[in-house]
Amino acid sequence: MATYAIGDIQGCYHELRLLLNKIQFNPNSDQLWLAGDLVSRGPNSLEVLQFLYDHQDVCTAVLGNHDLHLLACYHLGKKTNPKDKLKKLLKSAECHQLLSWLGTQPMAYYDKDLKFLMTHAGVPPGWNLDQTLASAYELEAVLRKPEKRKKYFKKMYGNEPIAWNEQLKKHDRLRFTTNALTRMRFCDLEGNLDLVRKGAPSKRYKHFKPWYKFQKKLLKETSLIFGHWAALNGKVTKKNLYALDTGCVWGNKLTALRLEDKKYYSVEALRKWSRCD
């Protein structure tokens, strides 16, 4: 029995199946964790969701920014960008079933036995495990109630507020949680997020550094898995931190981490499926 965490799939279904074959995944005994961005940009988002739905008893996914954008477009009746390659999924007979399941996935997932936490983008400075899970649960509760979900999606987009404080109004609080858990890359010492820059962490942006440079509280309590930042190429030099987005959709690799012994497995992308923004 083993637990495997996999980085951003983004519709790369065939690479997912190759990786599962490589790790000899057994749905009768193993568990899969998915670090978000299951869909978008790759060619087979429908097939990815179908596979995960069919194996939902052994799969746990956290929502990424691309997953939330898909759900927002679906529930608000908005058109998706053609480059996201979501038309086949949205026109499929299984669409409602698959997106209903997707919308029940958590924003953060923690296993107290393995002592691993997983979010899509990371955890902002100043948040410990309890704060992270409480903020995630608040957002999850909204996503699972039809009467609240649509209102949330209408207010989800935007880069403000850039910092957390306990006095934030509800929708500002939910937007910050969304951005911190699914979009964050750079921040400053005070925890102000810079949601514009997307470059490699080696670039110098004044006072802004990768968020994990300032994250101390949480990493003393538990290990953290995240995806989202393909420019890291899975490399971070910080204890208890595991980056799993290795840019499969951009023509690089799809990567898995076996949690019990921290061993990595990867497969090469079959081709470059999308251009970097």
Q: How far apart are alpha carbons 93 and 105 in whole angstroms?
A: 21
Structural tokens at position 88: 């086949």
Q: What residues make up the domain containing 147?
A: 3-268
21-39: per-residue pLDDT in tens? Answer: 999 999 999 999 999 999 9
Residue 60 lies in a domain: yes
User: What does pTM read for this prediction?
Assistant: 0.97
Residue 187 lies in a domain: yes
Residue 275 lies in a domain: no
94-111: per-residue pLDDT in tens? Answer: 999 999 999 999 999 999
Residue 243 lies in a domain: yes
The domain that holds 76 is classified in CATH as 3.60.21.10
Structural tokens at position 194: 């810079």
244-258: per-residue pLDDT in tens? Answer: 999 999 999 999 999
184-229: per-residue pLDDT in tens? Answer: 999 998 999 999 988 888 766 778 999 999 998 899 999 999 999 9
Average pLDDT over residues 66-92: 97
Residue 277 lies in a domain: no
Residue pointed to by tokens 């399941």:
101
Residue 20: pLDDT above 90?
A: yes
- Least confident interval from 133-137, 141-145, 186-190: 186-190
Residue 274 lies in a domain: no
Task: Provide the 8-state DSSP code for 260.
Answer: T
Domain count, the chain: 1
Average pLDDT, the chain: 95
Residue 273 lies in a domain: no
Residue 276: pLDDT above 70?
A: no
State percent of the chain over pLDDT 90.
Answer: 91
**Which of 242, 233, 248, 245 is CA-nearest to residue 262?**
242
Residue 21 lies in a domain: yes
The torsion angles phi and psi of 122, rounded to 5 degrees, stand at 135, -160
Residue 277: pLDDT above 70?
A: no
